[in-house]
Structure 1
Amino acid sequence: MSKADWDRLKAMTEEEINAAALSDPDCPPLTEEQLSRFKRVNAIKDIRGRLGMTQAAFSAAFRLPLSTVRDWEQGRTVPDAPARTLLTAIARDPETMRRLVGGEAA
């Protein structure tokens, strides 16, 4: 966006921003039915997949209990805030995180 676009946006109220978003022909609001068909992405499975690691290898590399990794991926439990922070750090720099936690080499 240009500076003029940002300035125009900053001058708008929340109501004006919402009205503009709703009237955008390139991005109409989704219906409840459309939203219900969305599939939530499993962050840990996505991270592990991008690293090309098995659950066991991921668990060993980042010193996480294998059962915890499995529970997160299968939706039995949800990572708490510290675990989500760790997963974010792993996604951003997996090799550094592996070294920091003292896990096994992948």
Structure 2
Amino acid sequence: MLLDEAPLNTPGRVPRVKIIRRALHLSQEEFASRYLIPLGTLRDWEQGRTEPDQAARAYLRVIAKEPETVSRALGTRDAA
């Protein structure tokens, strides 16, 4: 579980997407591909240009807690 490595802070705060991605040892391209997030969107989140909306924040929380389950559910487990 990556939740301890990627604190979500207080409710409403943006999960630290870069920390989640790095904890999974994935490049931006690999993370975006595996979790079906547009690469430009991921980069915008990581660089603070935009913030994930409520649905994206929930999705990132699930990825942080169960990354392999999400990848399997999406059928992108081996995506790089």
Report the TM-score range of the alignment, normalised by the length of the smaller protein. 0.7 to 0.9
Q: Does 1:85 align with 2:44?
A: no
Correspondence for 2:22: 49
Q: 1:97 aligns with which of 67, 70, 73?
A: 70
Unaligned segments of structure 1, at least 5 residues: 1-40
Are 2:76 and 1:76 aligned? no
Provide structure 2 residue ranges, at least 5 long, that are not aligned to the other structure. 1-13
2:35 match? 62
Instruction: Pick 1 or 2: higher relative contact order, CA cutoff 8 A, min separation 6.
Output: 2
Over 3 Å counting, the alpha-carbon distance change for 1:44 and 1:80 in structure 2 is same
Which whole-Å CA distance do the structure 2 matches of 1:42 and 1:81 have between them?
11
**Which contiguous aligned blocks of 4+ residues in structure 1 show a shift greater than 6 angstroms?**
none
Percent of aligned pairs with the same residue?
Answer: 47
What whole-Å deviation, never above 9, does each CA across 1:78-102 have from its counterpart, x for those lacking one? Answer: 0000000000000001000011123
Q: Which has the higher helix share?
A: 1
Aligned equivalents of 2:28, 2:70: Cα separation in 1: 17
Task: Describe the shift of the 1:92–1:42 C-alpha distance in structure 2 as closer, same or farther (beyond 3 A).
Answer: closer
Larger-gyration structure (1/2): 1
In the alignment of these two chains, the number of paired residues is: 67
